[in-house]
Amino acid sequence: MAERIEIVPAIDIIDGKCVRLTKGEYETKKVYDCKPAEMARAYSNCGVKRIHLVDLDGAKTGTPSNLQTLEEVAANFEGEIEWGGGLKDMAAIDSALNAGATHCVIGSVAALHPEMFAQWLESFTGEKLILGADVRGVSIAVKGWLEQAPIDIVELIEKLLPSGLKSVICTDISRDGMLAGASVELYTMLQNRFKTICFTASGGIGSMNDIKELNRIGMPKVIVGKAIYENRISLKEIEQWSRNE
């Protein structure tokens, strides 16, 4: 049986609480009545092997702001933990890894200072660091999606490949939180162009059908957030998919 796309549930964090934004806009913040550690435990019980955590406070301020929450999540989740938001230097990356992250997602720094990120890739190896590219079309948005980088996603990946880049999370901002389906054309283009990169789709997932469509084109991973909180995708469906039932 062909390997299925891996569902990676997202937990976005502000002030230690689970939240979701629409199109990355902080004023659209919706707070959910559940703790990140509780969500992590529920996902672990469903057979999920990896979760994606975003420190939205850190993304805004430029320094990790919810490391205690990361520690609590790590104590309640048996699999791999991706952590992003506010990771602007090696010390911040070390602090996240020490707090329980298994992978660090680097966004703004990688797009604005690709030479620096290339050095980090070589230091930490491509196994621990993931490029987080938040795009409108192929243009990359940075600094909490408030500004545009001078390099697009194709140029950035090409620049980083020689330094050992292995994994890329690509979020289509125009679809993020909209529950209207993923950018299948974008991911098809990226996969065809970069055969050695493990891509994760993010943004727009509103149903299991959206996940099945990405599975059809061979995407390795997909991040799902709001659809879970809004009961568009149930924990039971995630469990059945993750356990390949």
SS3 of the chain: CCCCCEEEEEEEEECCEEEEEECCEEEEEEECCCCHHHHHHHHHHCCCCEEEEEEHHHHHHCCCCCHHHHHHHHHHCCCEEEEECCCCCHHHHHHHHHHCCCEEEECHHHHHCHHHHHHHHHHHCCCCEEEEEEEECCEEEECCCCEEEEEEHHHHHHHHHHHCCCEEEEEEHHHCCCCCCCCHHHHHHHHHHCCCCEEEEECCCCCHHHHHHHHHCCCCEEEECHHHHCCCCCHHHHHHHHCCC
Residue 134 catalytic?
yes
Query: CA distances (Å), 203 to each of 41, 45, 134, 177, in order?
Result: 23, 24, 9, 7
Residue 12 catalytic?
yes
Catalytic residue among 55, 134, 172, 176: 134
Q: Which residues are catalytic?
A: 12, 134
